[in-house]
């Protein structure tokens, strides 16, 4: 039996909105299925705009939200059945997140290295500070940093790019099989953004970690991902190999989304704006 690393089986998530009397529900994620193979690490992009349900997907994969329908199975375990702390911690050693805003993800009043030691202590059994520091340094070296430059630093002393590297390093400490990165570069400055994106590539190639890359940015999704799904209002409208889908999208929404990406060239970009304007005027 070839086991999948992660398998989503007709997953649905609804949120209740409204008050006591006018109860309505919004379907944030509607009948989504896909799977990641355990033997070939890959970068799997989930692309969508706000309200597409992509962040809800991230939360469900991380076990922070429970689906209303369908199952999420990670490495043979149904994520929805995780109850005890021991189960939860065993799950967290294999699946780790990288959050969107590095300045939010690190408590401004806590030293950034604290997170590394805590992770090392809980998930690798490093009891002494020396062992924890060794683990932290090893992970930081992987992302091009070192413990020496981070020890005792606060988040505001580092750039967004550095912080996001620390976040990735922290996620690597338990040697996870899967990293779920929810918009990991949208808050990182342009001159540093590609260093994070390239880092994900090297994690896949060198550490054989699978990455779920959640983004609204088609250009970076095209750049790093192997497979992609495009979501609109909770539904997967197109999926397949990243190059194939993004070079030649077939669904009208994916085509519109692709055309909306501004080319980094003044003539072409201005032309795209004018075209879109003509379309809106004509409509």
Partner 1 sequence: MFKVLFDLLRYNREFLLGTLLILIILALIACSFFAPYGENDIYVVIPDMPPSAEHWLGTNSRGQEIFWQLSISMRNTLMFGVVVAAISRVIAIVVGLVSGYIGGRTDQIIMAVNDTLGALPNIPILLLLVFVLRDQMTWPVLALTAALLGWTHDSRLIRSVALSLRTREFTRHAAFSGMRTGQILFREHLPYVMPIVFFTTMNNLIWAIGLEVTLSILGFSDINRPTIGGMIYWANAHSAMVAGIWWWIAVPMIFVVILFLGLFLLAMSVNEYIDPRSRLARMGA
Partner 2 sequence: MMNATLAPERPATTAPVDVLTIKDLKAYYINEHFGVRREVRAVDGIDLTVRRNEVYGIAGESSSGKTSLIKTLAGAIRPPMRVVEGSVKFDFGGKHIDVYGEPAKMQAARWQHLSYIMQGSMSVLNPVRRIKHAFNNFAYRHMGLDATAFRRRVESHLDRLGLDASVLEAFPHQLSGGMRQRVTIALATVCEPEFIIADEPTTALDVLVQQDVLGLIKEVQGRLGSSVVFVTHDMSVHAAITDRLAIMYAGRLAEEGPTQALFDRPQHPYTAHLIASLPRIGDVSTRKSLAGKPPSLANPPSGCRFHPRCPIAIERCSKEVPQMLPSATGGRVACFRAGEVSMQ
Interface residues with partner 2 (CB under 8 A) are 49-50, 158-162, 189-195, 197-198, 216, 218-220, 222-223, 243, 246-247, 256-258, 260-278, 280-281
Question: What residue 223 binds from partner 2, partner 1, none (CB within 5 to 8 A, per partner kind)?
Answer: partner 2
Q: Tell me the angle at which helices 160-172 and 190-202 cross, rounded to the nearest 10 degrees.
A: 20
Q: Looking only at residues 47 through 106 of this chain, which bind partner 1 when binding is defined by CB under 8 A? A: 62, 64, 89, 92, 96-97, 99-101, 104-106
Instruction: Give the x/- contact pattern for partner 1 in 190-229, rule: CB under 8 A.
Output: ----------------------------------------
Question: What residue 14 binds from partner 1, partner 2, none (CB within 5 to 8 A, per partner kind)?
Answer: none
- Helix, coil or strand: residue 62: coil
Q: By CB under 8 A, is residue 108 in contact with partner 1?
A: yes
- Helix, coil or strand: residue 264: coil
Q: Which is nearer to partner 2, 125 or 282 (CB)?
A: 282
Up-side HSE of residue 33: CA atoms within 13 Å toward CB?
A: 5
Question: What residue 275 binds from partner 1, partner 2, none (CB within 5 to 8 A, per partner kind)?
Answer: partner 2
Residue 72 β-bridge partners: 8
Question: What is the C-alpha to C-alpha distance for residues 6 and 8, in angstroms, rounded to an integer?
Answer: 7
Question: What is the edge-to-edge ordering of all strands in the sheet holding 24-37?
Answer: 24-37, 4-17, 69-74, 77-78
Question: What residue 194 binds from partner 2, partner 1, none (CB within 5 to 8 A, per partner kind)?
Answer: partner 2
> Tokens representing 229?
């799904």
Query: What is the helix (H) or strand (E) element at residue 102, kind and residue range?
Result: helix 102-105
Question: What residue 170 binds from partner 2, partner 1, none (CB within 5 to 8 A, per partner kind)?
Answer: partner 1
Beta strands, E only, the chain: 4-17, 24-37, 43-47, 69-74, 77-78, 95-98, 178-182, 210-215, 227-232, 235-241
Q: Backbone phi, then psi, for 135, in 5-degree steps?
A: -60, -45
CB 107 to partner 1: min, Å = 4
Window of 21-29, 43-51, 120-128, 233-241 that interacts with partner 1 by CB under 8 A: 120-128
Dihedral of the alpha carbons of 34, 66, 55, 176, in degrees to the nearest 10: -70
Site for partner 1 (CB under 8 A): which residue of 79, 167, 237, 246? 167
Site for partner 1 (CB under 8 A): which residue of 52, 55, 56, 119? 119
Question: What residue 246 binds from partner 2, partner 1, none (CB within 5 to 8 A, per partner kind)?
Answer: partner 2
Instruction: Kindly list the residues in this chain that would bind partner 1 in the complex (CB under 8 A).
Output: 62, 64, 89, 92, 96-97, 99-101, 104-110, 114-116, 118-119, 121-123, 154, 156-157, 167, 170-171
């Amino acid at each position: 039996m070839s086991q999948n690393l992660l398998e989503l089986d007709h997953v649905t998530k609804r949120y209740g909105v409204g008050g006591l009397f006018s109860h309505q529900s919004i379907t944030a994620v509607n009948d989504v299925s896909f799977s990641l193979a355990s033997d070939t690490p890959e970068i799997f992009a989930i692309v969508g705009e706000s309200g597409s349900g992509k962040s809800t997907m991230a939360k469900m994969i991380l076990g922070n939200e429970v689906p209303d329908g369908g199952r999420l199975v990670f490495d043979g375990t149904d994520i929805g059945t995780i109850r005890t702390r021991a189960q939860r911690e065993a799950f967290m050693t294999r699946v780790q997140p990288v959050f969107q805003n590095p300045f939010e993800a690190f408590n401004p009043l806590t030293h950034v290295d604290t997170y590394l030691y805590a992770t090392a202590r809980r998930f690798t059994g490093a009891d002494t500070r020396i062992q924890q520091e060794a683990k932290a340094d090893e992970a930081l070296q992987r992302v091009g940093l070192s413990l020496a430059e981070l020890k005792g630093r606060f988040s505001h002393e580092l750039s967004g790019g550095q912080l996001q590297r620390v976040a990735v390093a922290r996620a690597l400490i338990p040697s996870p099989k899967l990293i779920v990165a929810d918009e990991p570069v949208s808050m990182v400055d342009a001159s540093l953004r590609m260093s994070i994106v390239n880092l994900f590539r090297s994690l896949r190639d060198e550490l054989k970690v699978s990455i779920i890359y959640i983004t609204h940015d088609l250009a970076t999704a095209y750049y790093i991902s192997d497979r992609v799904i495009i979501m609109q209002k909770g539904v997967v409208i197109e999926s397949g190999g990243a190059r194939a889908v993004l070079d030649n999208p077939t669904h009208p929404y994916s085509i519109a989304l692709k055309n909306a990406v501004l080319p980094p060239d003044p003539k072409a970009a201005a032309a795209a704006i004018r075209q879109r304007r003509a379309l809106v005027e004509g409509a």
